[in-house]
Amino acid sequence: MIEILLLVHLILAILVLSIRSLFTAVILMAIFSLFSAVLFFVLHAPDVALTEAAVGAGVSTFLYIWIVKHTQKEGE
Amino acid sequence: MKKTNILDVVSRKLSPFILLFGVYLVTFGHISPGGGFQGGVALASSLLLILLAQGPRVLASSFPIGRISVIEVLGYGLFLLAGLGGFLLGLGFLSPLLPPPGTIFILNIVIGAKVGAGITLICWHLFQEGEEQE
């Protein structure tokens, strides 16, 4: 189970770095932090998993989407 | 970026449930996993979903920013009061005054309100600054 989750993390991280569209990369980062929340839950750390799900998938995605929205107008 | 109906509907239907889940995390923090910080961030992310998808005017109509600031300041003051209350009885800082779930329950609620209001205010002012420059 842990090995499969780590493999998914690796694939998602490579996708985030290599994809061209910034918006898709931000959404993939949110999926990445969702999977790391599942990993923390499997490792018996539910508190850390809740923090990761709330901060990683909620607030940091807000900040990244806001930044992408305000930097793309100057030309891609 | 064009705004679609999907974003509009999903953000409106989902954010009350995230708000409810945040309240659950805060109030049951002493029994189940969760607590003040996690619940507060869940509360803030529900408000931020409205802010990002519906715009600042919709958020300000149901959650006025002045009141969120008041909650943030009050949260800090109440936490300090609950901490310093131990000194009155000759105990240490943040010592439990009430029987077991009492003090930690109150502290969880205060921290949840403080963290939720604080993160919402940070993102709100960031959002406003970006809108003004255009």
Q: How many whole angstroms separate alpha carbon A46 and alpha carbon B17?
A: 20
The overall average pLDDT reported for chain A is 87
Where on the phi/psi map is residue B34: left (φ > 0), alpha (ψ -120 to 50), or beta?
left
pLDDT at A36: 92
Give me the pLDDT at residue B90, please: 77
The residue-averaged pLDDT of A8-37 equals 91
Contacts of B53 (CB under 8 A, 6+ apart): B7, B8, B10, B11, B12
The predicted pLDDT at position B11 comes to 87
Band (A43; pLDDT cuts 50, 70, 90): very high
Residue A33 distance to chain B (closest CA, Å): 15
Task: Check CB contact of B127 with chain A, cutoff 8 Å.
Answer: yes
Per-residue confidence (pLDDT) for residue B133, from 0 to 100: 59
Q: What are the start-end ranges of the H helices in chain B? A: 5-27, 36-54, 56-62, 65-88, 101-132
Closest chain A residue to the Cα of B33, Cα to Cα:
A47
Q: How far apart are CA B2 and CA A66, in angstroms?
A: 15
Rounded average pLDDT per 10-residue block, chain B, 134 residues = 80 90 89 86 90 83 87 88 81 76 85 91 83 61
Query: Chain B closest CA to A72's CA: distance in Å?
Result: 10
* Per-residue confidence band for A67, with pLDDT thresholds at 50, 70 and 90: confident
What's the confidence (pLDDT) of residue A38? 92
Q: What is the pLDDT of residue A75?
A: 53
> Nearest C-alpha of chain B: how many angstroms from A51?
5
pLDDT of residue A74: 55
Least CB–CB distance from B38: residue in A54, A62, A69: A54
Spatial distance between the Cα atoms of B74 and B57, rounded to a whole number of angstroms: 24
pLDDT score of A18: 92
